[in-house]
DNA sequence: GCGAGTTTGTTCTCGCGGTCACAAACTCCG
DNA sequence: CGGAGTTTGTGACCGCGAGAACAAACTCGC
């Protein structure tokens, strides 16, 4: 597998559209893209894998390997052209054109997401905000009118939406996901602390704030235990300065 | 590292406090804990690995393996006691007592985080909100007064804070992180789309909304390409009747 | 008390992903 | 034009984690 040495003697394009890009690499491509954008803003036209890797916070060997899955877009002895590589990564991710996105659940988090400029600047366009609670409906958030949840299917069909964001309480998350899938959405970003059940073919990514904190707490506990132990072993200076 | 005089021929006795729990397992423990809490709320006293695995959205073999790293807290032929297992996981993660947390950057996202009930209900207590911008200072958000960023060190020392949340723009993130580290914080949850440089011993976890969306977009692009291809290959039912 | 049934804990195997190290390829300079 | 220096692309190796399968241990019914 791997390697475009896989027969398929199609000479037209350099890149084989059937390459399997490892999931771990896919997760890093956006990071590289952001680093490249940052370089471009500083008018840097080209960079080495070492520079880009530092900017992205990864190992340079890993970066080169990741990029090699896309094709050979660098020049040995020189490095990578920032604009060219940016475009290639954007094309691979599929953010050369904007993706319409809807947000369901316009509470505190939903409003923050709607106002988040990072979405619009990176290939996404929020086309609608929905909420089931009547008090929210009709209000304007981030320049968009909050519409009733029952309009979901209509909006998805009209705007060709394939990506949905769920920022409702955990108890409502599954219902919202079901409705999204029924409406034709096939990628869901879920902020609700709940496990979503979706049919095959639908992708779900979960962002769970309290889980992240708990992971930190675990390591923090270990650090504290480690420190106690060191103290037990004697000979550390006191904590109070 | 760590795990100093392990091995010490202690058989399958009580739990060795120096076990190394795999990172992948650590990331799932909070999910199990949440599933257990949900079971407890429905007055379910015990459950099998299969039931718990379903509730947590994982494979039952993986769940059993994960739990085995903590010790043998189940009973063969019976299952797990919900309350007992909950406590053991909470103890392992270190959330049997509350962790004080500060949030720096009280914009849209910071306010949403401050109001997020999931923090307080899962072992975390927001003790202070900080913002460098004068207009925010003095305002009350989620029952807490927003204090100037310059109070950081004082607050961290007074409240024994070891976990900090960064929800400032990307350009300010590194400065905030530096100040946090200098003040004694050793775990950072970063919402800013920037790579943070921190000294060894400090843990950083990143939550990046636009990266998550871009990963979805990648798979969505592939799905679209796949669909086109199926059509190209013909031999599927015609679209037009 | 004992066998049948059930469920945990663990062992084994396999594949993905991370890192190292090096050959290939390009530039620069004399 | 050729050699030295630089940087990419990739092959090899290794360790972690996922999943399947099985032995150990507990309960229940008779």
pLDDT surpasses 90 at B196: yes
B201 touching A (Cβ < 8 Å): yes
pLDDT band at B15 (very low <50, low <70, confident <90, very high): very low
> Which residues of A in 54-93 have their CB below 7 Å from strand C's atoms?
58-59, 61-62, 64-65, 75-78
SS3 of B197, please? coil
Amino acid A8: pLDDT: 34
Which of A212-216, B2-6, B74-78, B192-196 has the least mean pLDDT?
A: B2-6
Percent of chain B clearing pLDDT 90 (strictly above): 81
Q: Answer for the pair B164, B145: CB distance below 8 angstroms, yes or no.
A: no
pTM recorded for the entire structure:
0.89
Amino acid A145: pLDDT: 97
A33 touching B (Cβ < 8 Å): yes
A17 touching B (Cβ < 8 Å): yes
Which of A87-96, A97-106, B119-128, B152-161 has the least mean pLDDT?
A: B119-128
Amino acid A233: pLDDT: 59
Whether B209 and A210 lie within 8 Å, measured CB to CB = no
Write out chain B residues lying below 8 Å of A123, CB-based: 213-214, 217
Question: Which spans in chain A are helix H?
Answer: 23-41, 49-56, 60-70, 82-93, 108-115, 117-120, 152-159, 170-183, 209-232
SS3 of B191, please? coil
Of B73, B96, B75, B90, the C-alpha closest to B32 is B90
Report chain B's mean pLDDT, rounded to a whole number. 89
Distance CA B83, CA B37 (A): 8
Write out chain B residues lying below 8 Å of A197, CB-based: 57
pLDDT band at B74 (very low <50, low <70, confident <90, very high): very high
Amino acid B232: pLDDT: 61
pLDDT surpasses 80 at B94: yes
Whether A221 and B57 lie within 8 Å, measured CB to CB = no
CA distances from A25 to A63, A89, B202 (A): 9, 11, 25
A61 CB-to-strand D distance under 7 Å: yes
Q: Answer for the pair A208, B24: CB distance below 8 angstroms, yes or no.
A: no
**Is the four-CA dihedral A151, A153, A157, A159 of positive or negative sign?**
positive
Q: What's the average model confidence in pLDDT over B171-196?
A: 97
At residue B65's C-alpha, the angle toward residues B60 and B67, to 5°, is 95
A186 touching B (Cβ < 8 Å): yes
Amino acid B19: pLDDT: 67
pLDDT surpasses 60 at B7: no
Which of A26-40, A169-183, B142-156, B222-236 has the least mean pLDDT?
A: B222-236
Amino acid B226: pLDDT: 72
Which of A52-61, A158-167, B9-18, B90-99 has the least mean pLDDT?
A: B9-18
Q: Where are the beta strands (DSSP E) in chain B?
A: 46-47, 74-75, 79-81, 99-104, 124-131, 140-141, 144-148, 163-166, 187-190, 203-206
Strand partners, A130: A104, A147
Amino acid A231: pLDDT: 66
In chain A, positions 132-151, which contact chain B (CB-CB < 8 Å)? none
Provide block-wise average pLDDT over 10 residues at a time, chain A (241 residues).
34 48 98 97 96 97 98 96 97 96 97 90 93 94 96 98 97 98 98 96 95 97 79 52 40
CA distances from A139 to A135, A146, A147, A148, A149 (A): 8, 6, 8, 11, 14
Distance CA B92, CA B81 (A): 16
Distance CA B121, CA A215 (A): 15
């Amino acid at each position: 597998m791997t390697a475009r040495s896989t027969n398929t003697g199609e000479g037209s394009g350099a890149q084989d559209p059937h390459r399997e890009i490892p999931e771990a690499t896919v997760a890093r491509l956006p990071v590289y893209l952001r680093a490249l954008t940052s370089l471009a803003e500083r008018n840097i036209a080209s960079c080495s894998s070492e520079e880009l890797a530092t900017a992205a916070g990864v190992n340079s060997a890993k970066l080169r390997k990741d990029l090699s899955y896309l094709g050979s877009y660098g020049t040995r002895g020189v490095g990578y052209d920032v604009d060219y590589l940016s475009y290639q990564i954007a094309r691979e991710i599929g953010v050369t054109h904007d993706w319409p996105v809807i947000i369901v659940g316009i509470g505190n988090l939903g409003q923050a997401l709607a106002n988040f400029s990072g979405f619009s600047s990176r290939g996404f366009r929020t086309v609608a905000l929905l909420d089931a609670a009547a008090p929210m409906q009709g209000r304007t958030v981030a320049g968009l009118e909050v519409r009733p949840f029952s309009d979901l299917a209509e909006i998805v069909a009209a705007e060709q939406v394939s990506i949905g964001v769920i920022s409702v309480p955990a108890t409502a998350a599954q219902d919202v996901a079901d409705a999204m899938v029924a409406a034709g959405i096939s990628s869901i970003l879920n902020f609700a602390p709940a496990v979503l059940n979706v049919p095959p073919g639908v992708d779900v990514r979960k962002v769970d704030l309290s889980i992240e904190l708990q992971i930190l707490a675990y390591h923090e506990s270990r650090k504290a235990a480690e420190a106690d132990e060191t103290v037990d072993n004697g000979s550390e200076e006191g904590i109070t300065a």
